[in-house]
Amino acid sequence: MGAFNFIRLSEPCPHCGAGNLSLQFKFASSYDGDKVVGRFYGHTYAVGDRMPWFEEGHREFEKIARHPNVSTTEDGVIRNKGIGRCAECKLDIEFEVLFRDRVIVSAKLIPPSAKA
């Protein structure tokens, strides 16, 4: 529930091999926004992109990682498990996006066999 953004994965679907998978995640998503980029949701990003967010001191600033699937490691890497579905074969896909500050470092599929 709530706002989210999309990421385009470089990896193909593990089941049918379809490319251009676009999946949703929560980190740095908000229905609010600023005058530069507009609202912070519904955008599609790629690895290497820096995500826009509120300036420090804004009342929403601390909410950037306030989602159940977002965690921060001791070395400052932020992990966000995302979900999606292959448009071709309808396979449900889980993936993990890593961020440092607000830059997307990587986005990797979680193999179906590794799911709990």
Binding site for Zn ion (CB under 5 A): 13, 15-16, 18, 86, 88-89, 91
Q: Which is nearer to Zn ion, 16 or 105 (CB)?
A: 16
Give the shortest CB-25-to-Zn ion separation in angstroms.
19
Q: Are strands 22-25 and 5-8 parallel, antiparallel or unpaired?
A: antiparallel
Give the shortest CB-105-to-Zn ion separation in angstroms.
25
Q: Which is nearer to Zn ion, 9 or 64 (CB)?
A: 9
Cβ-based neighbours of 56, under 8 Å, separated by 6 or more: none
Are 24 and 11 spatial neighbours (Cβ–Cβ below 8 Å)?
A: no
Q: Which is nearer to Zn ion, 91 or 98 (CB)?
A: 91
Residue type, 88: E
∠ CA 58-61-37, nearest 5°, is 85
Give the shortest CB-21-to-Zn ion separation in angstroms.
8
